[in-house]
Amino acid sequence: MSAGSLPSRSSLLLALLVCPAAQADDLFVDSEALPQVLTATRLKQTPAEVPGSMTVLDNELINASGARDISELLRLVPGMMVGNISGNQAAVNYHGTNASEARRMQVLIDGRSVYRAGLATVDWSDIPVAIEDIERVEVFRGPNTVSYGANALMAVVNIITRHPADSHGTRLKYTRGQRGINDFYASQGSSWNGGDLRLSLSGQEDDGFDSDRSGADYRDSRRLNRLSLAVSHTLSDDQSLDWQINAKDGTNQRPYTYQPVFSGITAAGNNSDVVAKDYAGSVRWNLDINPQHSLYVQGSAQHWDRQQTWRACDAEVSFSPELTQLWQLNPNYTERLARNITRFTGPGAAPGTPQEMALANQVLDQWRNGASRTLCGDIDQSARESRYDLELQDTLSLSDSLRLVSGLNYRYDRADSETYFNGTLDDTTWRAFGQLEWRATEHWLLQGGAMFEDTRLVGNSLTPRFAVNYLINPRHSLRAVYSEAIRSPDMFENNVNWSYQVSNLRPSAYGQSSARYFVKTRGPGDLDQEHMRSRELGYNGYFAEIGLALDVKLFYDEITGMISEPLRNNQYIASNANNSRFRGTETQLDWRVSRADRLRFTYAFVDAEASNPLDQQFTSRNSGSAGWLRDWGHGWNSALFYYGDNALNGYRFERVDTRIAKRIPLGKAQLQLAGVLQQRLDHEPNTFVDNNYDERRVMYFSAELEF
């Protein structure tokens, strides 16, 4: 049968139609009408067939890690750089780039992207999913915009929650520990004829880091509550409907970081905390047209609400219309004047154009005449972002050896912020994608695809992807992958219109109780997409006899047209002028040594070179993890993990985590008691200089009841 030709397809269909009828004549072969469940379109690729490198964090590993955050789990992925901006802001990037801006990785929850629509970040701590609801995390290590859309530039983290049908019963869990750790989780799963649901409620609390660089208390604790409802309906033999609702509400503390521009100002606010609310809903309709053809339509709506207002103090002259005008003419000149204003009060304005000097002298006059007095007012840096997404994906198994996945996607993004966008900004994106998987022979598997994307604010692009897997046998393969990927600049990078309207001014500024601060920053509006070219050679193997799974890869990735300027409000000049490249090797090994023991090991060597030194910061040249899980019998389990980065943003990170758990049957119910101990092995801050703990050790305990 020649693969792919139309006659072969029709003969295959014919054979499928005829076969059961022929067997129906046999009185002894069960002719019970059973729908085909594991159809060609439902079956997944084996690890050896995946066109790239993949790490799967299964449920056992997630539990054993004792992790309270999704970001912490990702330490188990080779090449993943996991750090912290503060106690409630994780920074995660694959291979590296900027430490404070991790925006080149796609993060999905059950297929829905949680990458914020307007502000180019993933708020790991605010993702409205409890770790207890996660079935597994699949990390595709490498660019894959063809399958996951733009932003899947360096890697894709796919978080898959437990299917409602797999989460029946009641679970109650309570965790308490040092550093203010105080978490709870409660879920109820049940089913009826043709449907299943899971409702879960959870909460998380901790104090974050203990002290900043000066030894003062660091304001970065968090408190949050989540609700999640997942429902699955079987509509008929060939149709099902899944829907989810997720909500999260909480407070993230932020230290007060505003530094007055003008000298002599001593008054200050005390925090810039954020109230963060996330809402998401999605519906997915699955249709199996026949065992060789299926499709789904998924629609989702998400809303991110970040309310951040704080009181800031500066000199009245900050609101001077003349100073604002001067900033628009020459920000550098203005900043020099503002920061050193007392030096110019005597001699007058510094040399510049006559217009600049005239404005500067007017500002100096205002300063001398009393505008040097302190004003305090409310700054509102809130942002509300929404995303609506509709996707159609079709999987067609053309023959035993040929499978086509294709689809269309429409997305509408909207961001609303007085501070960042001076109102509302929106964008629409259309995407079409297709990927073909061709098993040329028993040994050769060829996969290729492309994605076309058109974004209203940025323009269009086409990205291809090719992979060849040579299957030595079904469990061992060699692969070569070439892929291109793009990342569209987000609204913030490209279209920011950043200025502060300060309200409740006391005393009033130039007679106004609400006025605009003089600094104003605009995005360039004409940024192009970042472009990545990635090359990979790899080996994946499973030695079934000894239970050992191994993956090794060599990679060479380049990003060009890179937007790497930090997002700051003084003189933000974004451009596509930068580039970087990453090369190195990664290994992961998962070995079930015996029924009781499992060993896991990951290692990554990454060599980064970037035109902007900031983009080299978040790469640890050597990083990895090692783990040992053991089932001691009689309900006792233990896990021991080591995590290490030789230098992440310049700081070493080494930690050993231990978890010991005991299951106690209580009639039909089961109680699990667990204790986690994390011990830092180094004395350095965590990623940034302000992230310090008083003790290098933390302990927390949990009790979980299942019935």
Judged by CB under 8 A, does residue 341 bind another protein?
no
Buried (b) or exposed (e) across 686-703, using 16+ Cβ within 10 A? bbbebbbbeeeebebebe
Judged by CB under 8 A, does residue 309 bind another protein?
no
Indicate the residue type of 670: Q
Is 35 or 507 the residue whose CB approaches another protein more closely? 35
Judged by CB under 8 A, does residue 475 bind another protein?
yes
Instruction: For 438-502, give the DSSP string.
Output: EE-SSSEEEEEEEEEEEETTTEEEEEEEEEEEEEEETTEEEEEEEEEEEE---HHHHH-EEEEEE
Query: Long-range pairs for 261-265 at CB < 8 Å and ≥24 separation?
Result: 261/314, 261/315, 261/318, 261/338, 261/339, 262/314, 262/315, 262/317, 262/318, 262/338, 262/341, 262/372, 263/341, 263/342, 264/315, 264/342, 264/372, 264/374, 265/313, 265/314, 265/315, 265/374
Per-residue binding string, another protein, 495-534, x by CB under 8 A, is ----------------------------------------
Among 2, 27, 634, 665, binds another protein (CB under 8 A): 27
Report in angstroms how near the CB of residue 26 gets to another protein at its nearest.
5
Judged by CB under 8 A, does residue 31 bind another protein?
yes
Report in angstroms how near the CB of residue 667 gets to another protein at its nearest.
14
Is 255 or 547 the residue whose CB approaches another protein more closely? 547
Q: How far apart are the first and last CA of the chain?
A: 53
Is 167 or 204 the residue whose CB approaches another protein more closely? 167
Determine if the peptide bond prior to 164 is cis (ω within 30°). Answer: no
Instruction: For 37-63, give the DSSP string.
Output: -S-TTTPPPPGGG-SSEEEEE-HHHHH
Sheet containing 112-113: give its strands across.
Answer: 53-57, 134-141, 155-161, 105-109, 112-113
The tokens for 586 are 């990664």
Part in contact with another protein (CB under 8 A); list of ranges 352-360, 368-376, 519-527, 537-545: 537-545
Per-residue binding string, another protein, 349-388, x by CB under 8 A, is ----------------------------------------
Instruction: For 259-284, give the DSSP string.
Output: --SSTT-----S---EEEEEEEEEEE
Judged by CB under 8 A, does residue 47 bind another protein?
yes
Instruction: For 316-343, give the DSSP string.
Output: GGGG-HHHHHHHHH-HHHHHHHHHTHHH
Part in contact with another protein (CB under 8 A); list of ranges 17-25, 209-217, 450-458, 610-618: 17-25
Q: How far apart are CA 390 and CA 576, in angstroms?
A: 30
Q: How far apart are CA 83 and CA 523, in angstroms?
A: 28
Per-residue binding string, another protein, 557-596, x by CB under 8 A, is --------------------------------------x-
Part in contact with another protein (CB under 8 A); list of ranges 87-95, 117-125, 254-262, 471-479: 471-479
Residues 223-242 that bind another protein (CB under 8 A): 234
Judged by CB under 8 A, does residue 473 bind another protein?
yes
Residues 123-142 that bind another protein (CB under 8 A): 135
The tokens for 375 are 């004003």
Which residues face 12 on adjacent strands? none
Judged by CB under 8 A, does residue 6 bind another protein?
no
Among 7, 15, 193, 683, binds another protein (CB under 8 A): 193
Q: How far apart are CA 272 and CA 378, in angstroms?
A: 10
Reduced to 3 states (helix: H, G, I; strand: E, B; else coil), residue 105 is strand
Q: How far apart are CA 98 and CA 705, in angstroms?
A: 42
Cβ atoms within 10 Å, residue 320: 21
Is 178 or 670 the residue whose CB approaches another protein more closely? 670
Part in contact with another protein (CB under 8 A); list of ranges 1-9, 23-31, 265-273, 605-613: 23-31
Among 545, 634, 667, 683, binds another protein (CB under 8 A): 545
Residues 433-452 that bind another protein (CB under 8 A): none
Is 292 or 625 the residue whose CB approaches another protein more closely? 292
Residues 158-177 that bind another protein (CB under 8 A): 163, 165-166, 168-169
The candidate with the shortest Cα–Cα distance to 303, out of 375, 236, 253, 245, is: 245
- Measure the CA dihedral 134/139/145/146, to 10°: -90
The candidate with the shortest Cα–Cα distance to 549, out of 95, 55, 50, 65, is: 55
Judged by CB under 8 A, does residue 634 bind another protein?
no
Per-residue binding string, another protein, 392-411, x by CB under 8 A, is --------x-----------
Part in contact with another protein (CB under 8 A); list of ranges 29-37, 83-91, 419-427, 644-652: 29-37
Is 134 or 458 the residue whose CB approaches another protein more closely? 134
Part in contact with another protein (CB under 8 A); list of ranges 27-35, 404-412, 621-629, 691-699: 27-35
Judged by CB under 8 A, does residue 24 bind another protein?
yes
CA distances (Å), 281 to each of 24, 160, 537, in order?
Answer: 45, 15, 39
Q: How far apart are CA 397 and CA 290, in angstroms?
A: 10
Is 289 or 573 the residue whose CB approaches another protein more closely? 289
Cβ atoms within 10 Å, residue 376: 17
Report in angstroms how near the CB of residue 29 gets to another protein at its nearest.
5
Judged by CB under 8 A, does residue 43 bind another protein?
yes
Judged by CB under 8 A, does residue 17 bind another protein?
no
On whether the CB atoms of residues 493 and 120 are closer than 8 A, the answer is: yes
Reduced to 3 states (helix: H, G, I; strand: E, B; else coil), residue 202 is strand
Reduced to 3 states (helix: H, G, I; strand: E, B; else coil), residue 583 is strand
Among 40, 150, 152, 323, binds another protein (CB under 8 A): 40
Among 9, 48, 200, 326, binds another protein (CB under 8 A): 48
Report in angstroms how near the CB of residue 53 gets to another protein at its nearest.
16
The candidate with the shortest Cα–Cα distance to 700, out of 59, 68, 252, is: 68
Q: Which residue has the tokens 């912020």?
A: 417
Part in contact with another protein (CB under 8 A); list of ranges 192-200, 266-274, 345-353, 641-649: 192-200
Report in angstroms how near the CB of residue 190 gets to another protein at its nearest.
8
CA distances (Å), 396 to each of 9, 62, 296, 379, 692, in order?
Answer: 11, 33, 12, 54, 53
Is 17 or 33 the residue whose CB approaches another protein more closely? 33
Part in contact with another protein (CB under 8 A); list of ranges 187-195, 271-279, 520-528, 644-652: 187-195
Q: How far apart are CA 570 and CA 553, in angstroms?
A: 42
Judged by CB under 8 A, does residue 33 bind another protein?
yes
Judged by CB under 8 A, does residue 192 bind another protein?
yes
Is 47 or 78 the residue whose CB approaches another protein more closely? 47
Q: How far apart are CA 425 and CA 497, in angstroms?
A: 10
Judged by CB under 8 A, does residue 542 bind another protein?
yes
Among 29, 216, 267, 329, binds another protein (CB under 8 A): 29
Is 46 or 345 the residue whose CB approaches another protein more closely? 46
Cβ atoms within 10 Å, residue 245: 16
Is 473 or 622 the residue whose CB approaches another protein more closely? 473
Judged by CB under 8 A, does residue 36 bind another protein?
yes
Size of the site for another protein (CB under 8 A): 45
At residue 546's C-alpha, the angle toward residues 542 and 550, to 5°, is 30
Judged by CB under 8 A, does residue 188 bind another protein?
no
In the complex, which residues of this chain contact another protein (CB under 8 A)?
Answer: 20, 24-40, 42-48, 135, 163, 165-166, 168-169, 191-193, 196, 234, 400, 473-475, 542, 544-545, 547, 595
